């Protein structure tokens, strides 16, 4: 904890800091060109998304995650499939990559909170970053597999 602050400042920075980071990154990522978001080929261990079904039972909970695109103007809604045209599916696939990278970037901001938190606060902030972002990352990866299968059938 390089910066010594009163506890109410620490709590305030933590409570305000995460929404500012998450929404700020979402705002930024939405404004980046879609052409920058070409997802890599998925690793074999994901087994076409079945890994997420078996290990995380993702089908049970993924639909309960919030769709952040509704909170930021100009975002691409990923909560439901609005069509099956190949161009729409290709865009959706890119948008899942954009969303995944945005969540990974949010996790990467965790050390900022280490500047003012005690060691146990660092652990809480790291746990929050993972708990708030990892489910979204898993859902993006799983949905990308499903969209690729659908696109291959078109």
Greater pLDDT, 13 or 81: 13
Mean pLDDT of 112-137: 97
Q: Which range of residues forms the domain containing residue 92?
A: 7-153
**How many Cα atoms occupy the beta-carbon half-sphere of 126 within 13 Å?**
10
* Average confidence (pLDDT) over 34-62: 96
Among 29-33, 79-83, 93-97, 133-137, the minimum mean pLDDT is found in: 79-83
In a domain, 2, yes or no: no
The more confident residue out of 111 and 76 is 111
Integer CA distances (angstroms), 51 to 48, 54, 55, 107, 124, in order: 8, 5, 6, 22, 28
Measured distance between the N- and C-terminal CA atoms of the chain, rounded to whole angstroms: 54
Please answer whether residues 27 and 75 qualify as being in contact, where contact means their C-beta atoms are separated by less than 8 angstroms. no
Identify whether the C-beta of residue 26 lies closer than 8 Å to the C-beta of residue 129.
Answer: no
Angle between helices 86-108 and 7-31 (to 10 degrees): 150
pLDDT of residue 2: 83
Q: What is the pTM of this model?
A: 0.93
1 located within any domain: no
Domain annotation covers residue 132:
yes
User: What is the total count of domains within the chain?
Assistant: 1
């Amino acid at each position: 904890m390089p910066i010594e602050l009163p506890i109410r400042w620490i709590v305030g920075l933590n409570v305000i800091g995460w929404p500012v980071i998450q929404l700020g990154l979402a705002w930024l990522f939405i404004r980046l060109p879609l052409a920058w978001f070409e997802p890599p080929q998925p690793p074999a261990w994901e087994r076409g998304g079945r890994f997420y079904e078996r290990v995380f039972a993702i089908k049970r909970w993924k639909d309960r995650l919030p769709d952040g695109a509704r909170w930021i103007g100009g975002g691409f809604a990923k909560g439901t499939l609005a069509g099956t045209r190949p161009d729409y599916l290709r865009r959706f696939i890119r948008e899942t990559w954009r969303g995944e990278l945005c969540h990974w970037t949010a996790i990467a901001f965790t050390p900022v909170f280490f500047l003012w938190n005690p060691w146990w606060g660092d652990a809480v902030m790291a746990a929050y970053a993972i708990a708030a972002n990892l489910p979204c990352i898993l859902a993006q990866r799983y949905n990308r597999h499903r969209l690729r299968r659908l696109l291959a059938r078109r």
